[in-house]
Structure 1
Amino acid sequence: MFNFRNSGGFASATLTAMNTMIMFNLMGVVNQLPAVLFRLFRRAKLWWFREVQITIPEQGREWHMYNRVFSAAECYLGAMFSDRALRMKAGTDPTGRSIVLTVDDAEEITDEFLPVMDVCCYKEKKEKRAGPAKGNKAIKVTWRYHCQQIEKGSARLWNNEKKYYTLTFDARHRPEVVNEYLEHVMETSNAIEMRNRQRKLYTNSMGGGDRLWTQVEFKHPASFATLAMDPKKKQAIMDDLETFSKGQDYYAKIGKAWKRGYLLYGPPGTGKSTMIACMANFLDYDVYDIELTAIRHNTELRRLIVNTTGKSIIVIEDIDCSLQLSGARGEARKEKKVKESKEKKAKESKEKGESKVTLSGLLNFIDGLWSACGGERLIVFTTNHVEKLDPALIRRGRMDMHVELGHCEFEAFKVLAKNYLEVEAHPLFEKVRELLAAVKISPADVAEQLMPKNIRAHDNATRCLEDLVHALQTLNSKQLKDELKNNTVS
């Protein structure tokens, strides 16, 4: 037994602590009482009035997928009921120019719709519907938005909010709501998004969480008309892109995923990034720019790819510099020093928590089972050193079209002269032709020489062409000296 003799102070402190703990627990119960009572009320209402409630969470059931119905509901309610809802949240679109309204927490919105089919013959009338069936009464549904704070001890450390919509309706109208109303919400949302569509440039988020991609409006002025490239080669690429964009049925017939790989290679400044912008503008596709070094493992790479949309270009630039994916695997095994160096780098990478994306994981994304998740996508790799890439990565069937972007030739120069100087013929053109045949210079360097120093001057074309000729002559002399020096040494 506990002896309370000479311990009155301790017993008093113990009782005080117990009372305080009981009070805190009671306060916690009281604070949670409104939420508990509300849930009980909602359940009793659903049971008493025979109501059905559909929960639409922000995150899909599968770990790697967003819930498209949630985003459709958010778009639909924000566009259709912004003038009726009492409480809304205001934000901006990715461009920061337009205001976007969404429903605020715990806000209820009632919607009505006329069913266009009989419950017993929905499948037959779905294709023939032209308007509401005669005699049908409007069905009421109730939307409610919920946003709950997740406790710190939760497994969802990457997101402290749980967002979802609830859709409530009379149980008698379950077939109409499930089969028709939700389809109407999806179709209306898609129409709104297409009407307000702006092409996007996405990049993978660094912080993880539900938002795998961050986006900005894609506004690049490049086009094939202004691309400094051989016209025949340019036309071949445009024809290939157009054939791909119209090839859904053909790809399905031959049993291939609707995707196509492009390998763009060449020295720096030859227009690889510009080519990607031209492709996006030509097809009206979004661009997903993947930073491989920010991806921790293959599973995260798959999740990123699955959450890309159709009509998009998935880009990995400078793939030879992104990860340790280059070099022929056979040669790497033969050279012991190279192998030891790779093992050392891999160990350092593991200690630092750097990316663990492997070549096999990347190949599976390009040409494996996961490549069939989604359609109408171009996969584009760029590199300055194609010889460093593993042959398995760039073989035909993975990278279907290899496009070499080399040094500036005379046909490409004429495009640049027309773009920068608005001239299609000039006495100095023949001199430029001779020099371009002798020297190696990138289109970017030629464009820099053609940039007018004074845009108001009337003789810009002559001055810029003279500067270009002088630069080409200087470069030609330097290259001849270097070549003579190398021959002498060898």
Structure 2
Amino acid sequence: MMMMGDTFGSIGSSIASLFFVWATIQQIFPNHLKIAIKEFILSSFQQLCFAQRVSDHLTNLFSPYVEINFPESDEYRYNHAFSAIETYLGSKATEKSKLLKGSQVKESKGLVLKRDEKKIRDEYKGANVWWEIVTPTEGERSYKLTFHNRARSLITESYIQYVLEEGKSIKAKKKQTKLFTNNPSSQWVFSQNMWRFIDFEHPASFETLAMDPEKKEEIMNDLTAFRNGKDYYKKIGKAWKRGYLLYGPPGTGKSTMISAMANFLNYNIYDLELTAIKNNSELRKLLTATSSKSIVVIEDIDCSVDLTGNRIKKDRNSMERNRGQDKDENSVTLSGLLNFIDGIWSACGQERIVVFTTNHLEKLDPALIRRGRMDMHIELSYCTYEAFTILAKNYLDLDDHPLFGKIKSLLKETEISPADVAENLMARNHQVDVEGSLNNLIKALEKKKNSQMSKDEKKNNKFRIFG
């Protein structure tokens, strides 16, 4: 068979030679000879193509080997079998490999050596198999598995399942939380490369989160119930997903809350930038390309696209103006976002959390944040005394101090964000000065209090004038 393959492998060069000969003939021979020679060359070409087809058919008919391809995506959904295979093959011992790849992604970690071979041989219960990564110039990557036909049942019924389970197990043990953000659709290649990511290394935790302990406990219990709720969601006939709305003034810890949630659950974060999405169709594709055990985040949703206020129909003049605008203008609609949250497409995945953040709750359409879409509304407000004690422990390693009483009194009368409190407690030049930090905070609180009292007086005077 190999000799036959080598023989017909020269067909391509033979055809090229025929075309070269024909070009030469064009310059030398008279017209009647040209026509006769042309018919002969065409006849020979047809015979060669027929021979090639016969050769391919015979090779496929008599070859004892079977091939299975595992593409990186199935239509526009990510193929998780590809990921599991990649992890499994990457974990194979490197001692016998002659081609290795070295990388150091973190300065604190040593050099990591991995196989860098296009073909990898594996053995399973006495059967030999060969894996090959196929990377075409255009299109998606795939893994090709080749094995002898006599081992078909062993490979298809046992080995492949073993590889997938091993790959998923290895990935779970080594899992590093990732932070994803969406690429503009102009950078997508055959529905690939939708998301780019980095390792997520934010140290936030619920233990260090500055908020009321009872509210914190409530959120943690809700997250735990969701993570363990697969059977419950199936029983009640709902998609295994949950929505959280985080709202409050700037600096009150909304982004930190998301980081704490991700670290608590060990879920990946998908930071969805709506302004980089052209339409609802792209929004659906991005959703289906996210993995399970993930948190999909849209921060400052009131600022992302025009989804605020009541759904009032625009007048005809406005519609006419919009028709003349650039087609590439962002056209993600409220309806498309609602389908993204809890429509049919939202069920394409398991164990997924959707989080919205906003500084202006009153600007959001009620349909967007109703219960069932945003199941839990979490207000992150100004710093309370309970939140301050957590910050004092985090920054100053302090449980109590004589100045705490004065700070407690000022916090009751002053609106200040936890971020501002933390800034005053932070060590200067890495030197902790307890007295200095607490006094700085007291000065900041008194200044804030006076400023707020001055604003209130101006408002009262304004009402007196017009009253």
State the TM-score, normalizing by the size of structure 2. 0.81
Aligned to 2:403: 428
Rounded Cα–Cα distance in structure 1 between residues aligned with 2:69 and 2:54? 16
Please say if residues 309 and 365 of structure 2, whose CA atoms lie closer than 8 Å, have aligned partners that are also in contact. yes
Q: Following superposition of structure 1 onto structure 2, how do residues 361-376 of structure 1 map, counting pairs within 5 Å? A: 361-376=336-351
Choose from 314, 330, 346 the match for 2:296. 314
Q: Deviations over 1:156-187 (max 9, x none)?
A: xxxx3553332222223322211211111111
Please say if residues 222 and 277 of structure 1, whose CA atoms lie closer than 8 Å, have aligned partners that are also in contact. yes
Aligned to 1:474: 447
Q: Which moved more, 1:447-456 or 1:435-444?
A: 447-456
Choose from 447, 458, 462 the match for 1:485. 458
Is 1:101 aligned with 2:101?
A: no
Return 5+ residue gaps in structure 1 as ranges. 1-11, 20-25, 27-32, 115-137, 150-159
Q: Which amino acid in structure 1 is aligned with residue 134 of structure 2?
A: H
SS of the equivalent of 2:161 reads: helix
Please say if residues 97 and 115 of structure 2, whose CA atoms lie closer than 8 Å, have aligned partners that are also in contact. no
Choose from 199, 214, 224 the match for 2:177. 199
Rounded Cα–Cα distance in structure 2 between residues aligned with 1:162 and 1:484? 66
| Cα displacement (A) at 1:92 | 4.3
Task: Supply the RMSD in Å over aligned alpha carbons.
Answer: 3.0
Q: Following superposition of structure 1 onto structure 2, how do residues 206-355 of structure 1 map, counting pairs within 5 Å? A: 206=184, 207-209=187-189, 210-329=192-311, 332-333=312-313, 350-351=325-326, 353-355=328-330
| Cα displacement (A) at 1:84 | 4.1
Q: Which amino acid in structure 2 is aligned with residue 113 of structure 1?
A: Y
Rounded Cα–Cα distance in structure 2 between residues aligned with 1:40 and 1:263? 65
| Cα displacement (A) at 1:252 | 0.6
Aligned to 2:9: none
| Cα displacement (A) at 1:473 | 1.1
Q: Which amino acid in structure 1 is aligned with residue 90 of structure 2?
A: G
SS of the equivalent of 1:168 reads: strand
Rounded Cα–Cα distance in structure 2 between residues aligned with 1:202 and 1:398? 22
Rounded Cα–Cα distance in structure 2 between residues aligned with 1:300 and 1:100? 37
SS of the equivalent of 1:356 reads: coil
Please say if residues 103 and 145 of structure 1, whose CA atoms lie closer than 8 Å, have aligned partners that are also in contact. no
The number of equivalent residue pairs is 415
Return 5+ residue gaps in structure 2 as ranges. 1-23, 29-33, 35-40, 42-47
Aligned to 2:6: none
Rounded Cα–Cα distance in structure 2 between residues aligned with 1:142 and 1:217? 32
Please say if residues 263 and 381 of structure 1, whose CA atoms lie closer than 8 Å, have aligned partners that are also in contact. yes
| Cα displacement (A) at 1:100 | 6.0
Q: Which moved more, 1:396-405 or 1:169-178?
A: 169-178
Rounded Cα–Cα distance in structure 1 between residues aligned with 2:341 and 2:245? 12
- Give the 3 Å change call, closer, same or farther, for CA 269–325 of structure 1 in structure 2: same
| Cα displacement (A) at 1:250 | 0.7
- Give the 3 Å change call, closer, same or farther, for CA 454–143 of structure 1 in structure 2: closer
Please say if residues 78 and 289 of structure 2, whose CA atoms lie closer than 8 Å, have aligned partners that are also in contact. yes
Is 1:409 aligned with 2:397?
A: no
Rounded Cα–Cα distance in structure 1 between residues aligned with 2:174 and 2:272? 25
| Cα displacement (A) at 1:326 | 1.0
SS of the equivalent of 2:77 reads: coil
SS of the equivalent of 2:136 reads: strand
Rounded Cα–Cα distance in structure 2 between residues aligned with 1:83 and 1:168? 23
- Give the 3 Å change call, closer, same or farther, for CA 273–240 of structure 1 in structure 2: same
| Cα displacement (A) at 1:42 | 7.7
Q: Which amino acid in structure 1 is aligned with residue 114 of structure 2?
A: L
- Give the 3 Å change call, closer, same or farther, for CA 390–220 of structure 1 in structure 2: same
Rounded Cα–Cα distance in structure 1 between residues aligned with 2:55 and 2:209? 65
Rounded Cα–Cα distance in structure 2 between residues aligned with 1:93 and 1:75? 18
Rounded Cα–Cα distance in structure 1 between residues aligned with 2:87 and 2:237? 35
Is 1:53 aligned with 2:53?
A: no
Q: Which amino acid in structure 2 is aligned with residue 55 of structure 1?
A: N
Aligned to 1:29: none
Aligned to 1:148: 136
Choose from 368, 371, 390 the match for 1:393. 368
Q: Report % sequence identity.
A: 48
